[in-house]
Amino acid sequence: MNKTTIIILLALMLCIPAIRAEYTYIANSQVITASLVNQIPDPAVAGNTVELSIGIENYGGQAALGYNVELVPKYPIEKLPGETYIKNTGLLQGFQVNNEQKIIKFNVRTDKDATAGSYDFDILIYQPEEKDYATIRKTLSYDLTARESAEIIHIDKVELRPGQQTPLEFTITNVGSAPLRELSFSWSNANDAVLPVGSADKKYVKYLGVGEKITLTYDVMADTNAAPGLYKLDLKLAYEDPVTNTYTNITDHAGVYVGGGTDFDVAFSESTNGDTSFSVANVGSNPAYSVSVIIPKQDGWRVTGSNSAIIGNLDKGDYTVASFTLQPAMSSQLTQATTGAAQAQRTGQRDSSAGMTPDTVTVEVAYTDTMGKRLTVEKDVSVGASMDVNETGAFRAAGARTTVQQTSFFSQYKWYIIGIFTLFALYIARKKYKEYKLLNPKFTLSSLFRKK
């Protein structure tokens, strides 16, 4: 036996009494400890509940009775209403360890804004009457992953007009507490009444941070033959789960309405026997219901009788005619202008400013759209460069035939005739004066009248 072996044997012989004493101490005492046996789910998800299973073991040989196990929450753990966070172990036998350990379970909630990581919490073990001076504190840790979540929270358009290209925007927001990567978004509808124009229906986003949002824009068009109504869009969003490296799929639905309002073209048609007609055409892409044509109150015009005409429904592309008894409004200035025109006609002159009326008429088209809303479209309709007004207040379109009162030759040229007659009389008088002057040098003009 060499010297090294002898030294080791002597050391062991010296340790045996200490080991025997320690064993005797453990066999005659209670050695209580705690550990985290399990958590469900693992890792916990921020904002969700998690079940923590605490294993209580007695490494001593003496039985233990009535120990309380208390969970002390630390951020991001939150207590749940109605849950108990002090539980009793009951009887713990000596050397009750490993598979025989006592399991105490606590349910808690984690803060929704917590980031991923490992977090601590404390477990207190004590007998009720000894808490103040004989408490065992054990710090345990659990794993937490941030809650990844995205949602489509906004669609900017809810009304599409058939055949009209319209931008449609979808806003996606990361409402979770973890960034999202490799997002893909797509949408479709079953009967293809609404389709994207110039691009596919799927778009990709590389990264979306916590609290960030992104807007995806499509140019879309509703089928020109699509019936007015509400159409369902099927929305699909997929993104990568940063914990499991798998893809999470979110499906949702949204509605867009195809239909809505329309537009009209109003034109002056004709004016006969005091009735003025306007043609009204539906030039939009939707039908119009309960259409009425109205001549509102306005300067320069007045309507005799009803100022509105009900023409019923107008499908897209249809037109109809509405007639009114429309006359120029005879204001004081217009009356003076009309009187001046009559006097000018009697004197053989024409006042170019008299008898003029506005060259446009404001016309309103009221209708009910396909969504049931009552709308009004206002149009300024040209009725010609001017309107000629006669003395009775009636009017005709410019360019139509007119009858002008004929005046006599003398009435038209009387001042010329009077002037010529006066010059002729002066010529005769001058000639007579010269004849008498030759006969009598002392003859004066006054003598001519005395001689007579």
Tokens representing 150 are 């995205």
> Is 403 part of a structural domain of the chain?
no
Nearest of 73, 68, 155, 161 to residue 369 by alpha carbon: 161
Task: Point out the least confidently predicted range of 82-86, 103-107, 394-398.
Answer: 394-398
Tell me how far apart the alpha carbons of residues 353 and 338 are, in angstroms, rounded to a whole number: 9
* pLDDT for residue 18: 47
Q: Is the peptide bond before 43 cis (omega within 30 degrees of 0)?
A: yes
3-7, 20-24, 353-357: which has the highest mean pLDDT? 3-7
Instruction: Identify whether the C-beta of residue 57 lies closer than 8 Å to the C-beta of residue 35.
Output: yes
> Is 11 part of a structural domain of the chain?
no
Total of domains in the chain: 4
pLDDT tens sequence across 126-173: 988 888 777 889 999 998 877 666 676 667 767 888 888 888 889 998
Looking at the fold, whether 313 and 253 belong to one and the same domain comes out as no
Tell me the β-bridge partners of 266.
Answer: 280
In this prediction, residues 289-293 reach a mean pLDDT of 95
Looking at the fold, whether 137 and 242 belong to one and the same domain comes out as no
Looking at the fold, whether 285 and 249 belong to one and the same domain comes out as no
Write the CATH number for 177: 2.60.40.10
pTM of the model: 0.49
* pLDDT for residue 178: 73
Q: Is the peptide bond before 41 cis (omega within 30 degrees of 0)?
A: yes
Q: What are the DSSP calls for 46-73, one per residue? A: TTSEEEEEEEEEE-SSS-EE--EEEEE-
> Is 338 part of a structural domain of the chain?
yes
Instruction: Identify whether the C-beta of residue 370 lies closer than 8 Å to the C-beta of residue 286.
Output: yes
Taking phi over 0 as left and psi of -120 to 50 as alpha, with beta for the rest, 82 belongs to: left
Nearest of 167, 139, 169, 138 to residue 155 by alpha carbon: 169
pLDDT tens sequence across 207-230: 888 788 999 999 999 888 888 888
Secondary structure element (H or E) that encloses residue 268, with its range? strand 264-272
Instruction: Identify whether the C-beta of residue 220 lies closer than 8 Å to the C-beta of residue 160.
Output: yes
Tell me the β-bridge partners of 35.
Answer: 55
Write the secondary structure of 136-198 as one string of H (helix), E (strand) and C (coil): EEEEEEEEEECCCCEEEEEECCCEECECCCEEEEEEEEECCCCCEEEEEEEEECCCCCEEECC
Nearest of 241, 184, 177, 239 to residue 212 by alpha carbon: 177
44 three-class SS: strand
Mean pLDDT for all residues in the chain: 79
How do 202-208 and 180-188 pair as beta strands? antiparallel
* pLDDT for residue 161: 87
In this prediction, residues 79-84 reach a mean pLDDT of 92
Looking at the fold, whether 71 and 134 belong to one and the same domain comes out as yes
In this prediction, residues 288-307 reach a mean pLDDT of 92
Residues in the chain: 452
* pLDDT for residue 125: 92
* Residue 350 reports pLDDT greater than 50: no
Tell me the β-bridge partners of 131.
Answer: none
In this prediction, residues 270-280 reach a mean pLDDT of 88
Taking phi over 0 as left and psi of -120 to 50 as alpha, with beta for the rest, 131 belongs to: alpha
Split at pLDDT 50, 70, 90, the class of 19 is very low
Looking at the fold, whether 288 and 222 belong to one and the same domain comes out as no
Looking at the fold, whether 268 and 393 belong to one and the same domain comes out as yes
- Residues of the domain holding 313: 264-397
Task: Point out the least confidently predicted range of 24-28, 60-64, 221-225.
Answer: 24-28
Tell me how far apart the alpha carbons of residues 169 and 173 are, in angstroms, rounded to a whole number: 13
pLDDT tens sequence across 301-334: 989 999 999 999 999 999 999 999 988 876 444 4
The percent of residues in the chain predicted with pLDDT above 90, rounded, is 31
* pLDDT for residue 199: 81
Looking at the fold, whether 69 and 83 belong to one and the same domain comes out as yes
Split at pLDDT 50, 70, 90, the class of 180 is confident
* Residue 387 reports pLDDT greater than 60: no
Looking at the fold, whether 301 and 378 belong to one and the same domain comes out as yes
* pLDDT for residue 3: 62
Looking at the fold, whether 294 and 362 belong to one and the same domain comes out as yes
* Residue 367 reports pLDDT greater than 90: yes
Instruction: Identify whether the C-beta of residue 314 lies closer than 8 Å to the C-beta of residue 287.
Output: yes
